[in-house]
């Protein structure tokens, strides 16, 4: 162990880490990055196959973003949005985002943006908006939010409650009251024998409707979903899923919160994941690629009708009492704005759609390898699920830790990928990846999978 490793084990408490294993193994210390590659302190190069944590969309070492940050820091290092104060970066970023988003579902009036610092706090904001909006509208009983098992929405008390993975609840005394979980739309795992994707989607929509009816439609306010589940196992919903789910939501006046934290800004080859997956969101959560992770920033997109419903009551009730010191931080906002301008100048969404086709073809080809039970994804997002017996879809034992072992074999070969729940390997490279680099990535992964077999 070198000096930095020693210091790390001594002083750093690592999130989402097996704390005992970390003390035994020590950290992988990454020092620098350029494009889709990063280098560790020993000088070894890796393909960043998960774009950091699904976030470095524009790739590493982008000078234009460094310049945008430095320029803004020199001009105005901090500015606030509380109590009607404002600044140019937050205003121009909001205007830019409004042009990027699909029209609001009612089609009239603009989106407004409530900024935060992370996907988790943005989803907490979503919970509070649902409560505030219904309380001031005199419907104080309509506040429950339905999420899905395996959905991932963050780790704060509220957003971890939305997250549908037991490890984020157990021992944290979560979820909080008023958050319910419905079926995970994982056809490969949860469809009955011979059940088509459509029939599976119909069954899940009926289950959702049953849950709403049992709870009482006047108590259920919102449903939250990622267009494609990320951290919960890279799960692509079955054909017709959102169409059927939305019909249920509309029948019971339940809003759809679209968590675009991973799928936003081109990841699926469309500006937002909802457009690729047939969702018509009422509100949206944005983070990660919004600034390509050069600085932390997130946003909740609020439709005009929701703002209107809160506007008059706020006059009587006093300030809309929510927001963070760093909501719309000018440096983060300036970087996010420049990031989106670079997306436009470089036609990055079209690039992601084009290279994404090659990516998906290489991913699908891995399905031929032993122990690969399912491959799935869209655009430049993909996952593969390892199984002991492909025809019976029989799982490995949890203690086999197969996804972790494959990720370690990939790491040896110079590729960073992520092992997820359910023996799934996730791949989500920077959007700037080229076709040749997609080949390099999948050659490494294929070699790791062959070594595992």
Buried b (16+ CB within 10 A) or exposed e, 56-89: bbbbbebeebeebbeebeeeeeebbbeeeeebeb
Which DSSP helix (H) or strand (E) runs through 373?
A: strand 372-378
Reported residue count of the chain is 453
In whole angstroms, how close is the CB of 232 to ligand PLP at the nearest point? 9
Residues between 35 and 94 that touch ligand PLP (CB under 6 A): 53-54
Which of helix, strand or coil describes residue 302? strand
Which residue minimizes CB distance to ligand PLP?
Answer: 119
In whole angstroms, how close is the CB of 447 to ligand PLP at the nearest point? 28
**Nearer Cβ to ligand PLP, position 261 or 407?**
261
Query: Quick check: 152 binds ligand PLP (CB under 6 A)?
Result: yes
In whole angstroms, how close is the CB of 298 to ligand PLP at the nearest point? 7
Kindly state the tokens that stand for 440: 């390099």
**Nearer Cβ to ligand PLP, position 51 or 406?**
51
Query: Quick check: 231 binds ligand PLP (CB under 6 A)?
Result: yes
Gyration radius of the chain over CA positions: 22
Which stretch, 88-96, 164-172, 255-263, 354-362, contacts ligand PLP (CB under 6 A)?
Answer: 255-263
Residue labelled with tokens 């105005």 = 76
Query: Quick check: 184 binds ligand PLP (CB under 6 A)?
Result: no
Which of helix, strand or coil describes residue 420? strand
CA nearest to 418, candidates 96, 162, 50, 34 = 50
**Nearer Cβ to ligand PLP, position 54 or 242?**
54
**Nearer Cβ to ligand PLP, position 90 or 262?**
262
**Nearer Cβ to ligand PLP, position 51 or 387?**
51
In whole angstroms, how close is the CB of 15 to ligand PLP at the nearest point? 9
Among 154, 273, 373, 382, binds ligand PLP (CB under 6 A): 154
Which stretch, 146-154, 242-250, 299-307, 309-317, contacts ligand PLP (CB under 6 A)?
Answer: 146-154
- 427 - beta bridge partners? 382
Cα distances from 260 to residues 102, 171, 267, 306, in angstroms, run 13, 28, 10, 19
In whole angstroms, how close is the CB of 400 to ligand PLP at the nearest point? 25
Residues between 377 and 416 that touch ligand PLP (CB under 6 A): none
Among 56, 220, 287, 409, binds ligand PLP (CB under 6 A): 287
Residues 332 and 261: their CA atoms lie apart, in Å, by: 16
* Residue 315 burial (C-beta neighbours within 10 Å; 0-12, 13-18, 19+): exposed
- Provide CB contacts within 8 A for 128, sequence distance 6+: 158, 322
Residues between 119 and 138 that touch ligand PLP (CB under 6 A): 119-120, 123
Query: Quick check: 185 binds ligand PLP (CB under 6 A)?
Result: no
Q: Is the distance from CB of 266 to CB of 340 less than 8 angstroms? A: no
**Nearer Cβ to ligand PLP, position 209 or 226?**
226
Q: Write out the residues near ligand PLP by the rule CB under 6 A.
A: 53-54, 118-120, 123, 152-154, 226, 230-231, 259, 261-262, 287
């Amino acid at each position: 162990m070198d000096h930095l490793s020693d210091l790390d084990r001594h002083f750093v408490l690592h999130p989402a880490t097996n704390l005992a294993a970390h003390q035994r193994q020590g950290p992988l210390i990454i020092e620098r990055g350029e494009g889709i590659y990063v280098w560790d302190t020993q000088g070894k190069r890796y393909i960043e196959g998960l774009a950091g944590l699904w976030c470095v969309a524009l790739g590493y070492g982008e000078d234009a973003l460094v310049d945008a940050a430095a320029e803004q820091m020199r001009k105005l290092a901090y500015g606030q949005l509380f109590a009607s104060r404002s600044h140019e970066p937050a205003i121009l970023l909001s205007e830019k985002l409004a042009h990027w988003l699909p029209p609001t579902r009612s089609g009239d009036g603009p989106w407004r943006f409530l900024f935060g610092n992370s996907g988790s706090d943005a989803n907490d904001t979503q919970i509070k908006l649902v409560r505030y909006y219904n309380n001031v509208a005199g419907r104080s009983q309509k506040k429950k939010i339905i999420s899905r098992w395996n959905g991932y929405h963050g780790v704060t008390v509220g957003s971890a409650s939305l997250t549908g993975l037991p490890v984020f609840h157990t021992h944290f005394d979560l979820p909080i009251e008023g958050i319910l979980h419905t079926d995970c739309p994982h056809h490969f795992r949860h469809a009955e024998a011979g059940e088509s994707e459509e029939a599976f989607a119909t069954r899940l929509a009926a289950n959702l409707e049953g849950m709403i009816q049992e709870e009482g439609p006047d108590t259920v306010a919102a449903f939250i979903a990622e267009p494609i589940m990320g951290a919960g196992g890279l799960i692509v919903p079955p054909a017709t899923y959102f169409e059927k789910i939305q019909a249920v939501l509309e029948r019971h006046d339940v809003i759809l919160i679209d968590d675009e934290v991973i799928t936003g800004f081109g990841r699926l080859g469309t500006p937002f994941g909802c457009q690729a997956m047939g969702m018509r969101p009422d509100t949206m959560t944005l983070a990660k690629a919004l600034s390509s992770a050069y600085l932390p920033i997130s946003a909740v997109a609020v439709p005009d009708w929701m703002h209107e419903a809160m506007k008059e009551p706020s006059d009587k009730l006093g300030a809309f009492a929510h927001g963070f010191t760093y909501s719309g931080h000018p440096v983060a906002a300036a970087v996010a704005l420049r990031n989106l301008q670079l997306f436009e100048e470089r036609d990055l969404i079209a690039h992601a759609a084009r290279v994404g086709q090659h990516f998906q073809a290489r991913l699908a080809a891995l399905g031929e390898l032993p122990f690969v039970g399912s491959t799935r994804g869209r655009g430049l997002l993909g996952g593969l699920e390892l199984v002991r017996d492909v025809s019976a879809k029989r799982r490995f034992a949890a203690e086999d830790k197969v996804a972790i072992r494959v990720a370690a074999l990939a790491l040896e070969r110079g590729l960073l990928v992520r092992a997820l729940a359910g023996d799934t390997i996730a791949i989500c490279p920077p959007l700037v990846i080229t076709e040749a680099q997609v080949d390099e990535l999948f050659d490494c992964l294929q070699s790791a999978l062959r070594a595992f077999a």
